[in-house]
A = this chain, B = another copy of it.
Amino acid sequence: MDAAVALADSARGLSSPNPNVGCLIVRDGAVIGRGATAKGGRPHAEAIALASAGSAAAGSTVYVTLEPCAHASDRGPACAALLRDAAPARVVIALADPDPRTAGKGIALLRAAGIAVDVGIGADEARRAMAPWLMRIEHGRPFVTLKLAMSLDGCIALADGTSRWITGERARMHGHLERARHDAILVGRGTLEADAPRLDVRIEGLEDRSPERLVLTSGDAPDGWQAIASPDAIAELDGIESVLVEGGAGAASAFLAADLVDRLLIYRAPILIGNGLRAIGDIGLTNLASAHRRWNRVDHRDLGSDTLDVYERARNEDCTASSGKVGTGFPPE
């Protein structure tokens, strides 16, 4: 399932409006088919993997990150039917499909055909790889990552605004890679006016993955930028499943106060600044207890002398659990 999740991850940001699914077919200990949802959403991962496996898929084990779709489409057959016809011995599924058009029907179709089906293996990892699509389908808004590049004491610049450079070359390059993985990047109006950031991807070969540029402002956006009046307004963005909030403190605070941050990327340089500019401002916190149990650390790594810590919204705070805001997104096909 780890390999299937890696395939899903490889299609992230490319498979819209369909989910970025990964599929691996194994028989007698050998991988006989691999697939990830193609650019634009078709073919689906299962169709690609089955095509490469051919008739050898009979009796195999299929690993797939999302329940195979059960609804027919003009653009291709339902994957559950394709799988049934290929007759694997077993299908291992990480996540059931939240799309009401499938939602268990794919699993039922396979089981009715006598195929063993396991659900839930690698669910956390699959959920992470498919987080943007899941956020859109379950909550009708993009998945939001807040990036903070700061000193040990939480400053993003000197008091005079100087911020070049807090972090080093490797951390900044990692930040560009994160840009390439997002559909849109957002900054506050102050940051746009002060720094005039390009917010493009400066990695050779990935220049065309430079995301849409958003600015949080009640006013107009300059050419090449789109204005967002409030954090909530990201839900209205067409074709945007993931937003990277890059700063400044005002934009970061606005998204945190609106409880619209799903993931934190904290790049930290081994420096102390003291009375510099803070990474975030007022986020409406009134007591310490309510600050706890909101964030789980899921990654920690060294980037040169800097570090990167990645935090995700804690599952008990996760609006995917029980907020009832399900199903307002546009459906995949």
Please determine whether A296 and B273 come into contact, CB atoms closer than 8 angstroms.
no
Please determine whether A155 and B154 come into contact, CB atoms closer than 8 angstroms.
yes
- In the bound assembly, the distance between CA atoms of A257 and B154 in angstroms comes to 18
Give the size range of A's interface with the partner: 35 or more
Question: Which of A76-84, A90-98, A110-118, A275-283 is the contact stretch?
Answer: A275-283
Indicate the member of A155, A274, A279 with the most B CB atoms within 10 Å: A274
Please determine whether A152 and B281 come into contact, CB atoms closer than 8 angstroms.
no
Please give the distance in Å from A199's CB to the nearest CB on chain B.
21
- In the bound assembly, the distance between CA atoms of A105 and B285 in angstroms comes to 63
Please give the distance in Å from A182's CB to the nearest CB on chain B.
21
Cβ-based interface call for A321 (8 A): no
Q: Using A253-B274, A311-B152 as known contacts, say yes or no to A158 and B294 having CB atoms under 8 A apart.
A: no
Indicate the member of A283, A287, A291, A307 with the most B CB atoms within 10 Å: A291
| A157-172 contacts to B (CB < 8 Å) | 158, 162-166
- In the bound assembly, the distance between CA atoms of A279 and B271 in angstroms comes to 13
Cβ-based interface call for A325 (8 A): no
- In the bound assembly, the distance between CA atoms of A327 and B166 in angstroms comes to 37
Q: CB-nearest residue of chain B relative to A290?
A: B271
- The count of identical subunits is 2
Q: CB-nearest residue of chain B relative to A148?
A: B153
Cβ-based interface call for A174 (8 A): no
Please give the distance in Å from A90's CB to the nearest CB on chain B.
37
Please give the distance in Å from A208's CB to the nearest CB on chain B.
33
Please determine whether B274 and A283 come into contact, CB atoms closer than 8 angstroms.
yes
- In the bound assembly, the distance between CA atoms of A155 and B283 in angstroms comes to 13
Q: Using A154-B150, A154-B154 as known contacts, say yes or no to A282 and B274 having CB atoms under 8 A apart.
A: yes
- In the bound assembly, the distance between CA atoms of A168 and B8 in angstroms comes to 36
Please determine whether B295 and A154 come into contact, CB atoms closer than 8 angstroms.
no
Indicate the member of A152, A272, A274, A294 with the most B CB atoms within 10 Å: A272
Please give the distance in Å from A284's CB to the nearest CB on chain B.
8
- In the bound assembly, the distance between CA atoms of A274 and B309 in angstroms comes to 18
B-side contacts of A165, CB under 8 Å: 288
> Nearest 5 A-B pairs (CB), nearest first?
A154-B154, A274-B283, A271-B291, A153-B154, A270-B295
A residues with CB within 8 A of B: 148, 150-155, 158, 162-166, 253, 256, 264, 266, 269-276, 278-288, 291-292, 294-297, 300, 305, 307, 309, 311
Excluding A154-B278, A273-B291, 18 further A-B contacts by CB distance (< 8 Å) are: A151-B291, A152-B295, A153-B280, A154-B154, A154-B155, A158-B286, A158-B288, A253-B274, A270-B294, A270-B296, A271-B294, A272-B294, A273-B283, A274-B283, A275-B278, A275-B281, A275-B283, A297-B307
Q: Could you list 15 A-B pairs, sorted by A, with CB under 8 Å?
A: A152-B266, A152-B309, A154-B155, A158-B285, A162-B287, A163-B288, A165-B288, A166-B288, A256-B274, A264-B272, A270-B292, A270-B295, A297-B307, A300-B300, A300-B307
